[in-house]
Structure 1
Amino acid sequence: MNILRLTILVLFLWNLPGYFLAYFGASYGSLSSYASLFLLLVFFLLVKNKHKLFFPFILLGLLYFTICSIHFTGPGVSEFLKEFIKFLIVVICAGEVLYRTTKTEIYIILLLGAISIVINAVVFPFANANFYPTYGRFSGFYLNPNFAGTICSVGYALSYVITTKWLRIAGQLLFTLAGILTFSRTFIVIWLIISIVAIYRDKSNIKTPLIGFAVLALFFIFSNKLTLNTERFRALESIFISDKVQTKTIKKDARTETWAIYTDMIIDKPILGNGYKELQIKKAGLPGVHNSYLMTLGEAGIFPFLLLIGLYGYLMFKSLLLFKTHPEYFYIACVVTIALMVGHGYFTNYFNILISMFLYLQLRLNKDKKKVIEKKPLNEIFLHE
């Protein structure tokens, strides 16, 4: 069962179905996608002592897909039903996998996934299936550099609770390097937020940003050996080396400009939305909303949107309450909450869902543990401590 559980985690957390689809064709992509869901179902059915379901995530999926179907007029009804069923399988069955998974296991799996980004940059720089060969932003298994940046951000957040020193330092080094190679502005922002907050909590954490700046220095030194995105590299270089920061490049294709395009469309149908994938598919003059909050509001209306806001507000608030004892919860909450503002694949790309469910589980387990301790007689509490 452990081998099955780890296989499921690797398939989902390495984005292997998407990777096989992009590089090996539709047959391999479909096979790996169905295999990941089949194995997840098998694990759920075979495992004993089942736990509580993750009801908020299940309700969110039911609301989103059900309301989206009201205005769904385009072709591909079977594709819609397929995505609906796949989402429900994930949010219902993955809980049993996550209940039996440790932070260290997720950390190591993400670390190996981050190595694929470095290999992509150093060994296969022209392997960019979803972009042109000389794109110069690397993503490894994850195909999209912004998605890859989120992977690195979650790994970096988890690094602060890894007790094995060499594993922690290796992870911080690799996640930082891989994140820089994605040239994701969101990764840089999140990396800075986590580093600053970590130092505020414990001054000894100053060593981690120093590792990051050392990685950045090496990146600049060996940059001429890599095929990099020229615009993004020069913008990054200007922040640390040049007297004049290239703000135009940094602001170019800003997400706020993309979101603004959809304002009228969202305002036009705020209650029940515009229908499935209406804000995701590129159309004439529309690039895709690149914001899961706005995508939910624009496609399914106000009710799933409020649930989504409430769910991630809960994760942020509860993780902040536990900041003194479990700072990693707050770091992860920041990552998953901010990541939803730069991508619109929330209901079809399950990484954010799985990490959010894992965080929700940790917060719930901590709450249950507190209740158990509060119910114990005083003498048992003192003996336990």
Structure 2
Amino acid sequence: MKYIRIIILFLIFCNLPSYFLAKSSASLGQLFSYSTFLLIIVYYIFSKTKKLIVPFVVLGFLFFLISILVSADNTQTYLVTLVKYFIVVIMGAIVVSDTTKEEMYIVLLLGCLSIIYESMFIEGIGGRYRGFYLNPNAAGYACILGYCLSFSIDNRKLKIAGQLLFSIAGFMTFSRTFLLIWVLINLFSLFISYQNVYKIIVGVVLFSLFLSFGSKLDLSAKRLHAFSGILQGKVNDDLKEESREETWSHYYNKLLINPVLGNGYHSFSGETFGRGNNTFTIHNGVHNTFLMIMGEAGFFVLLYFTWIYGGFLVNGFRMFGSNPVIFFVSFSLIMYMLTNHNYFENNLVLFVSMWIYIQIDKWKNNEVETTFGYKLNLSNQSI
């Protein structure tokens, strides 16, 4: 069972189905995709314990039901997305429950090495490297997730090596979101220990060296110029160009059309056709999970979604003294979701979300056991 779980982690945390779909062939990509869900089902069937993470099941039920009742104009992917989502949040929950932070960390580390490999040996990428993740912003999130997990790794050599490699790979994505979260996480880490200031110093040195050798690495000239300005205390206009705020603004008026029940499934998700480098976009999606959920299923589903992830942040803050990683991972996930709108199709985000929920649930149960001298299950998860 352990080997099945590790394979599932590689498929999801390294984005292998999408990578082979884009870089190899449709048949191979579909094979990896079907294999992912088949292995999750097999793992669930043969697992001795069954767990149901109720909030994610309720969220999926509300979103898919309301969005399709409001509008059935974009139903091409509806059924497939619905089935995959519920396989992940119902059956995949046991995979996540059995997964350790060290397993996630090592798999992410190997995935992010693909970004560094791409920068060294593959030309014509376009100056922003993405490795297995195909999208620089998704690659940046994988790097920041690994960086957050590094704070909980006991092996000092593995911890330091990971922090260096995740930082280097993240810088190579030229993701504004990665850079912002990386800075904030390091500032938060000062509350753990003032000695963590060395991470900021090392990061600034790495960032400076990275920009110095930019011309030799075939980096994006526009982003290179913009990021160089940061070291001089300037926010270059190139960083403001095509900003997420500008993308969100295109959908504000549409939000007001039906704020209670939304505008229907996929109405805020854009339209992209093709495969790999041969894709073209009819119109961009909203690039914000919170706006996407309200825009497609309405205010009350957004309120429920915000309650789930707001709870992650609040409980992560409460746990900060004993386990700051939960706050780091929750914060970075929410920040990433402010720039991404494919929540119900993003298995990495769903796996990480369930992992946070399970870690918080364990902490709550342990707190009850410590306080009252016996264990009371508050999670209502067992079925």
Deviation, structure 1 residue 75? 5.8
1:328 to 320, 325, 343: 325
2:360 to 353, 363, 376: 363
Name the counterpart of 2:72.
Answer: 73
Q: Which amino acid is 1:189 matched to? A: L
- Supply the RMSD in Å over aligned alpha carbons: 1.6
Specify the SS of the correspondent of 1:268.
Answer: coil
Larger deviation, residues 25-34 vs 308-317:
25-34
Specify the SS of the correspondent of 1:161.
Answer: coil
Specify the SS of the correspondent of 1:347.
Answer: helix
Alignment map for 1:1-385 (pairs within 5 Å): 1-50=1-50, 52-74=51-73, 76-77=75-76, 79-126=77-124, 133=125, 135-240=126-231, 242=232, 245-282=234-271, 286-376=283-373
Equivalent pairs, count? 366
Structure 2 unaligned residues grouped into runs of 5+: 273-280, 375-383
Partners of 1:303 and 1:18 lie apart in 2 by 32
Deviation, structure 1 residue 249? 0.9
Q: Which amino acid is 2:242 matched to? A: D
Larger deviation, residues 366-375 vs 186-195:
366-375
Partners of 1:75 and 1:178 lie apart in 2 by 36
Deviation, structure 1 residue 76? 4.4
Larger deviation, residues 111-120 vs 208-217:
208-217
Deviation, structure 1 residue 375? 2.6
Deviation, structure 1 residue 285? 8.2
Contact residue 105 and residue 150 of structure 2 kept, 8 A? yes
- What TM-score results when the alignment is normalised by the length of structure 2? 0.92
Specify the SS of the correspondent of 1:270.
Answer: coil
CA offset digits 1:168-200 (Å, max 9, x no partner): 111110111111111111111100111011013
Q: Which amino acid is 2:12 matched to? A: F
Deviation, structure 1 residue 24? 1.2
Deviation, structure 1 residue 286? 4.2
Partners of 2:79 and 2:282 lie apart in 1 by 28
Contact residue 274 and residue 300 of structure 1 kept, 8 A? yes
Contact residue 152 and residue 176 of structure 1 kept, 8 A? yes
Contact residue 63 and residue 303 of structure 1 kept, 8 A? no
Deviation, structure 1 residue 225? 1.7
Partners of 1:370 and 1:337 lie apart in 2 by 25
CA offset digits 1:220-266 (Å, max 9, x no partner): 333222111111111111221x5x72521111111111111111111
Name the counterpart of 1:383.
Answer: none
Deviation, structure 1 residue 345? 0.9
Partners of 1:225 and 1:249 lie apart in 2 by 21
Partners of 2:33 and 2:96 lie apart in 1 by 19
Specify the SS of the correspondent of 1:158.
Answer: helix
Structure 1 unaligned residues grouped into runs of 5+: 127-132, 378-385
